[in-house]
Structure 1
Amino acid sequence: MKTEALLFAGVAAFFLVTDAIYIWLAREPAGGAALAVSFGMASVISFFCAMNYRRKGARPEDRQGSEIQERAGELDFFPPESGYPAAVAFGVSLLALGLVFGLWVFLIGVGVTGGSLLGTVFQFARRDH
């Protein structure tokens, strides 16, 4: 993470210098604001990476003598097939059609979308680890 922090600090410095030059030469507020926001976002990412490096230390891929096995382990839980994504898509379609055809279709879409989103979120809430 130290390399990433330095990389984004360099990007933030570039945006800061570019912003100062742009404001001085262009005298136009929209571009200066966009460059200032870009500087802020790059600074936040740099700060996040630096704090992660300070808190967790070097990762195996950051060290010269590390082995592949140091990063091995359980990756994540991959769920089997589910019908909920199709139900969410159907509910959102009903929401869009409700905007065109009437409130009653929109309300049905709210119900279908809400129920299918809850199903998606809590489908594997009680699974064994």
Structure 2
Amino acid sequence: MKSEARLFGFLVPFCIMAAMAYTYFTGGKEWVGIVGITLVAALSGFIAFYLWLVSRKLDPRPEDRLDGEIAEQAGDYGFFSPYSWWPLWLGLSCAALFLGVAIGWWMVIISAPLVALATVGWTFEYFRGEKAV
């Protein structure tokens, strides 16, 4: 967690300098950008402080220790179905859904049930018994 806290901690001065540069180049007339970049700096500071607090209470992870090895971080990444067709159908139906936003809402209405069907199909692909699809 210390590496993440440092990462967000480095964002704070960067965003403050970016806000000052933005203020200088816009002449202080563009308030939305100034406030937005300043809020990004403040929220990055909040996240950095939270991660720093949490990292003090937890045991250091391998990437936080100088003697940490890559093999210590290895673990189970989960089960991925080798011959599943559901990701293809989900991707195609999501593409049709997002294309429908650009083309017309009638296509969104047609493709939204297909997205729901493909999501449920992929989720319950290996379920057996009374909850099987």
Equivalent position of 1:65 in the other structure: 67
| CA–CA distance in structure 2, aligned partners of residues 9 and 99 of structure 1 | 39
Equivalent position of 1:13 in the other structure: 13
| CA–CA distance in structure 2, aligned partners of residues 61 and 117 of structure 1 | 35
| CA–CA distance in structure 1, aligned partners of residues 127 and 49 of structure 2 | 33
Q: Residues 47, 97 of structure 1: CA spacing in aligned structure 2 closer, same or farther, 3 A cutoff? A: same
Equivalent position of 1:86 in the other structure: 88
Equivalent position of 1:34 in the other structure: 36
| CA–CA distance in structure 1, aligned partners of residues 10 and 105 of structure 2 | 53
Tell me the number of residue pairs that the alignment of Structure 1 and Structure 2 aligns: 125
TM-score, normalising length: structure 2: 0.64
RMSD: 3.5
Matched, 1:49 2:42: no
Higher mean alpha-carbon deviation, 92-101 vs 63-72, is at 92-101
The offset of 1:45, in angstroms, is: 3.8
TM-score, normalising length: structure 1: 0.65
Q: Are the counterparts in 2 of residues 98 and 109 from structure 1 also a CA contact under 8 Å? A: no
The offset of 1:94, in angstroms, is: 5.0
The offset of 1:60, in angstroms, is: 1.5
Q: Secondary structure of the equivalent of 1:33? A: helix
Matches within 5 A, 1:107-126: 107-124=109-126
List gaps (5 residues or longer) in structure 2: 129-133
The offset of 1:122, in angstroms, is: 2.9
The AA in structure 2 aligned to 1:113 is V
| CA–CA distance in structure 2, aligned partners of residues 97 and 10 of structure 1 | 41
| CA–CA distance in structure 2, aligned partners of residues 98 and 22 of structure 1 | 34
The AA in structure 1 aligned to 2:28 is R
Equivalent position of 2:2 in the other structure: 2
Q: Are the counterparts in 2 of residues 85 and 120 from structure 1 also a CA contact under 8 Å? A: yes
